[in-house]
Amino acid sequence: MMASPGQTVALVIFGILALGFGTAVFRTKSMVRSALALLGSMAAVGGLFFALEAEFLGVLQLMMMATEMTIMAIFMVMFMMDPGGLGQMEMTHQKRASLTAGVVSGLIAIGLSTLSSWAAVVAAAPTPSAQLHDLGIELMSRSMLIFETAGLAILLAMIVATTIALKAEEKR
């Protein structure tokens, strides 16, 4: 069964935006522009989630990525000699091999997507409120261990990140 035409149009528009901004990330010499392009791409992915009727995940994606990209832009300005790309510095290597790897892996994924015989598409998704309710039940019942492990992983990452970033004399 096919999805509604509106949904297909939304998928196409957000898909083109995600891919367009994704390409722009590596086409500009300005790292701040790269961070903003990545923000655009991730926001378009959030839009895709809305088009796919996963509203909660869409909101989560938009909020998380806006925060992440802001932090990324701040780090760019702190660490880079030329965050604005005014000097037109070349910051790539092994371009041909990388391009080949990217194109080949993309083509393999496209081939698998188009040639696999997927099951029939389900026409209707649960309502947003039903999704939230059922996801909450899932998090607090069957997937609780996974959910708690994810929380522990974030805590560990914070401790590890702080330890790595400390100066040598501060560690003692």
**Which parts of 44-63 interact with another protein (CB under 8 A)?**
45, 48-49, 52-54, 56-57, 60-61
131 binds another protein (CB under 8 A): yes
- Determine contact, residues 1/120, Cβ cutoff 8 Å: yes
66 binds another protein (CB under 8 A): no
Q: Cβ of residue 33: shortest distance to another protein, in angstroms? A: 12
Query: According to CB under 8 A, which residues from 142 to 171 bind another protein?
Result: 143, 146-147, 150, 153-154, 157-158, 160-165, 167
CA 58 to chain centre: 11
Distance between the two ends of the chain, CA-based, in angstroms? Answer: 64
Q: Cβ of residue 169: shortest distance to another protein, in angstroms? A: 11
Query: According to CB under 8 A, which residues from 2 to 21 bind another protein?
Result: 2-3, 7-8, 11-12, 14-15, 18-19
Figure out which of the listed residues 66, 70, 102, 148 binds another protein, where binding follows CB under 8 A: 102
- Determine contact, residues 69/35, Cβ cutoff 8 Å: yes
Figure out which of the listed residues 29, 76, 85, 128 binds another protein, where binding follows CB under 8 A: 76
Q: Report the interhelical angle of 31-51 vs 55-79 (nearest 10°).
A: 180
Figure out which of the listed residues 6, 88, 94, 172 binds another protein, where binding follows CB under 8 A: 94
Q: CA dihedral in degrees (49, 53, 55, 59; nearest 10)?
A: 20
CB contact set of 155 (below 8 Å; sequence gap of 6+): none
101 binds another protein (CB under 8 A): yes
CB contact set of 56 (below 8 Å; sequence gap of 6+): 128, 131, 132, 135
Size of the site for another protein (CB under 8 A): 85
